[in-house]
């Protein structure tokens, strides 16, 4: 009888620990992974003229999951002193004490080793580009302390996945690469400004910066201009890639969805409404991707 107690105790402590690690990497909320994945898929599809190889698809889908997971760990390590002061983030594992920083560092190391393993299957140009992705992921969490639009740096970090994807297909970087990269930066400013609306009051109290604070009552205008340039760069990428009318119909639908969000932001939105608008961007990314696939000659 006494021998069963340690087993039960061990199991009862093991399950919450696994749950804490899952919470740390946002395992059950993959919106961020999709927002990183879609620009990467745009680049794969456009660079391969509609038909990326199965191997590259698998590598980059896994890579997006791994690097987004690594990125949120870096973010939580850098922001744990701030997260304790923000209602939305004060229950995160590093703030609540469910995990220690060394636990997070251990998982981060495993994820980065896994990302390096995926690179083994890609060409040397992609290897050379990969350190930039790591630097950007590590730099982004600190930008909100010094830069009024940290969302720009997030866009650069997310757009770099597309740059690497293009290099993996073509083994060179062409104008289409940088047009998609620019579009991704603008898109990140759109959706992450909307996301930052949730934390406006807390961000003012703790002294961190965001485009939602910078734009203030003109947030709708800042988002609208960023959306306009996103669509402009995507249109130019479609022209450079000789995409058909199906692609531009897809951009038209994306424009309607973005326009609805801009109109919605002209009125006051609650944090929950802002989060719902943010999640709609997964559909916008999907619409662009489908249009790109259908519009490939």
**Is residue 241 domain-resident?**
yes
Measure Cα distances from 3 to 8, 9, 19 in Å.
10, 11, 26
Predicted pLDDT of residue 96? 87
Distance CA 19, CA 25 (A): 10
Residues 220, 173: contact at Cβ < 8 Å?
no
Burial 254-269 (b: 16+ CB within 10 A, else e): bbeebeebbebbeeeb
Give domain status of residue 126, yes or no: yes
Percent of the chain as helix, strand, coil, to the nearest 5: 80, 0, 20
φ and ψ at residue 88, rounded to 5 degrees: -70, -25
User: Which bin fits 103, alpha (ψ -120 to 50), beta or left (φ > 0)?
Assistant: alpha
Local structure of 92: helix, strand or coil: coil
The H or E element that residue 279 is part of is helix 271-279
pLDDT tens digits, residue range 170-209?
999 999 999 999 999 999 999 999 999 998 888 888 888 9
pLDDT at 12 over 70: no
- Tell me whether residue 22 is in a domain: no
The predicted model gives 232-240 an average pLDDT of 97
Question: What pLDDT score does 11 carry?
Answer: 55
Average pLDDT over residues 10-27: 83
Residue 33 banded pLDDT, cuts 50, 70, 90: very high
Report whether 66 contacts 111 (CB < 8 A): yes
- Return d(Cα 161, Cα 132) in angstroms, integer: 10
Q: What is the pLDDT of residues 41-65, one digit of tens each?
A: 999 999 998 889 999 999 999 999 9
How many domains, the chain? 1
CATH number of residue 261's parent domain: 1.10.357.140
Confidence (pLDDT) at 65? 97
Write down the pLDDT at residue 10. 53
The contacts of residue 296 (CB under 8 Å, 6+ apart) are: 45, 46, 49, 50, 51, 241, 243, 244, 247
Whether 2 shows a pLDDT value over 50: the answer reads: no
Q: Using pLDDT thresholds of 50, 70 and 90, give the confidence band for residue 15.
A: confident
CA atoms of 278 and 162, how far apart (whole Å): 21
**Is 24 contained in some domain?**
no
- Contact assessment for residue 78 and residue 142, using Cβ atoms and an 8 Å cutoff: yes
Give the CA angle between residues 160, 164, 170 to the nearest 5°: 140
Containing structural domain, residue 153: 32-294
pLDDT tens-digit readout, 118-161: 999 999 999 999 999 999 999 998 998 888 999 999 999 999 99
Q: How confident is the model at residue 91 (pLDDT cuts 50, 70, 90)?
A: confident
Q: How many angstroms separate the Cα of 22 from the Cα of each of 29, 31, 33, 83, 173? A: 10, 15, 14, 18, 36
How confident is residue 1, by pLDDT bands cut at 50, 70 and 90? very low
Percentage of the chain lying above the pLDDT 70 cut: 96
Distance between CA atoms of residues 61 and 30, nearest Å: 12
Residue 10 lies in a domain: no
Q: Is residue 67 part of a domain?
A: yes
Measuring CA to CA, which residue among 268, 166, 186, 281 is closest to residue 227? 186
Q: In this prediction, what percent of the chain has a pLDDT beyond 90?
A: 81
> pTM to 2 decimals?
0.92
Residue 285 is assigned to a structural domain of this protein: yes
Mean pLDDT rounded to a whole number for the chain = 92
The mean per-residue pLDDT over the stretch 27-36 comes to 95
Residue 7 lies in a domain: no
């Amino acid at each position: 009888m006494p021998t069963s107690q340690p087993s039960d105790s061990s199991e009862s402590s093991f399950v919450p620990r696994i749950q804490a690690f899952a919470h740390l990497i946002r395992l059950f909320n993959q919106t961020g992974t999709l927002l990183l994945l879609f620009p990467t898929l745009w680049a794969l599809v456009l660079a391969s003229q509609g038909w990326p190889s199965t191997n590259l698809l698998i590598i980059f889908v896994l890579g997006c999951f791994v690097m987004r997971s690594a990125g949120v760990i870096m973010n939580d390590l850098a922001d744990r002193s701030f997260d304790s002061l923000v209602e939305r983030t004060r229950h995160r594992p590093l703030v609540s004490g469910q995990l220690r920083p060394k636990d997070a560092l251990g998982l981060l190391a495993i994820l980065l080793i896994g990302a390096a393993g995926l690179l083994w299957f890609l060409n040397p140009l992609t290897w050379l580009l990969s350190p930039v992705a790591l630097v950007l992921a590590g730099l982004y969490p600190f930008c909100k302390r010094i830069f009024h639009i940290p969302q720009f740096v997030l866009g650069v970090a997310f757009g770099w996945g597309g740059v690497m994807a293009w290099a993996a297909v073509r083994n060179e970087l062409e104008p289409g690469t940088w047009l998609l990269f620019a579009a991704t930066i603008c898109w990140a400013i759109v959706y992450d400004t909307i996301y930052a609306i949730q934390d406006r009051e807390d961000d003012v109290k703790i002294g961190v910066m965001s485009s939602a604070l910078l734009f203030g009552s003109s947030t709708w205008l800042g988002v609208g201009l960023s959306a306009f340039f996103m669509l402009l760069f995507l249109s130019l990428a479609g022209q450079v890639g000789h995409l058909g009318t199906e692609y531009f119909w897809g951009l038209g639908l994306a424009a309607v969805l973005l326009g609805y969000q801009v109109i919605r932001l002209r009125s006051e939105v609650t944090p929950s409404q802002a989060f719902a608008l943010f999640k709609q961007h997964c559909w916008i990314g999907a619409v662009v991707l489908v249009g790109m696939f259908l519009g490939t000659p």
